[in-house]
Chains A and B, each alone.
Chain A
């Protein structure tokens, strides 16, 4: 059974001035796959995500999304093509309520133009009502329907994460990039998060690239894992292979512990 390749990254490098954040990364995300990228801090994981979503322009390399090179495209256009993401430092909109935050994902799909907006044409009301319903359904899906009218940033951290995930999903993507969704989540809530991601993955038939430090999150979710260290790719494989790979262990724990 041949799965389509959603994202194919070839020879990706990104340097900032003198610092090489990512060096010659090659990777693939197949349809309905969950791929993980792990590595110690500063390994370049977020940089890879940022180049895919268009926030950074790669220094060299190509990023193919469904047979289309998306290097150089604007972040908004990349999102419109079907790639959505969440952020390591939760990037919610200041002073906006939860439901309004979700609705912004639908802005570019508006069925009215600025003239319609200026004169409150009936189609405006119709569209707004439509996305109100659709946004509420996303909130129900992540369990936040009771908090729709609260200011998003006033919620506890774990809920803010879910708002971000719901916002990303509301853009109705094929590919989801999750940047450390487990960061700041305490131990008791981690399983809920894993279940949520797994459930969404299956229900929506998403393809996911996942970065995290929490090994339990990575091992439970990913089919394939890339390991980065100081910008270089040092290993890749299934969760079992990675767990036992001495190179990976050395990168995380340092040399002495191997011999201990």
Chain B
């Protein structure tokens, strides 16, 4: 029982980051290999604040997210106006730079040997409730003009511009939210596993999240979640060694993108009657 709880809690935490990637890469087509570095930023900031400086956990969480938002703002400012290729490269470079910092600032971070003795504060409840809140936020964003604008910019950025959409501002908002999600997931992770090291936040982790999003359905919220559950649970169930897990992911996504580019669940939307349930409730509330 405890095993299942551990696994599902870990999966819930990863899904929080995946939700960020769903917004950034799935809906907006922004290919960032540096999102895992934001997870590391959140994890290290909170861990250092709590363990080294005795800051209470809630304040550390808020501080981690604020730090990440600031860093994301500056990175975004430098990189969001340029071509997609260069954005991808720049975010990769950012990720490498962050890992370099995590490894080099050994006094602060424990470097490659890791940061240990982090108290366990993340409970399964906290993780699941957080995931639920994050899902709600992403669902809300999708229904708002931000969701529409994401599709519009992706569909034809020139037409989007001449319809009044400020593409840079839009991308900045999405990028900051996505990075904040990754950072928060990093905090939860650090205070669940009680240990983090600079090797856990590299580009391959970012790619895993992207694979999950495109496997499940880049435009479908449920698709991404279901896809994530499948890809994260399957290796546990089938007891794969980690090298084969990655190989499996790669082969799967290559297959899916070639054969079903919208993702496994890409065309699924909430059945109409469930949707009507929500809209009815809203109409009654007015």
Contact = CB atoms under 8 A, between A and B. Distances in A.
A250 interface: no
A136 to B, nearest CB: 15
Given A76-B163, A110-B144, 15 more contacts: A55-B162, A76-B166, A78-B162, A79-B161, A92-B159, A100-B151, A104-B145, A104-B160, A106-B145, A107-B149, A107-B164, A112-B144, A118-B137, A120-B136, A124-B143
A118 B140 CA distance: 5
A100 B156 contact: no
Interface in A92-148: 92-96, 100-101, 103-110, 112, 114, 116-120, 124-125, 128
Determine the interface band of chain B, counting residues with CB < 8 A from chain A. Answer: 20 to 34
Contacts of A167: 159, 163
B260 interface: no
A171 interface: yes
Interface in A4-24: none
Highest count of chain A CB atoms <10 Å: which of B139, B144, B161, B166: B144
Contact of A117 (B146, B156, B159, B166): B146
A80 B154 CA distance: 21
A165 to B, nearest CB: 13
B89 interface: no
A95 B282 CA distance: 28
A75 B146 contact: no
Interface of A: 53-55, 74-80, 84-85, 87, 91-96, 100-101, 103-110, 112, 114, 116-120, 124-125, 128, 167-168, 171
**Secondary structure of the B contact surface, majority rule:** helix
Given A119-B137, A124-B140, A125-B282, A93 B151 contact: yes
A234 B215 CA distance: 58
Given A87-B159, A95-B155, A96-B155, A117 B145 contact: yes
B144 A128 contact: yes
Contacts of A80: 164
A74 B166 CA distance: 9
Nearest to A105: B163
Given A92-B156, A94-B155, A107 B148 contact: yes
Nearest to A55: B158
Contacts of A79: 161-164
Interface in B122-150: 136-137, 139-141, 143-146, 148-149
7 contacts: A55-B161, A75-B161, A84-B162, A84-B163, A104-B148, A118-B177, A128-B143
Contacts of A116: 144
Interface string B152-194: 1011101111111111000001000100000000000000000
A119 B140 contact: yes
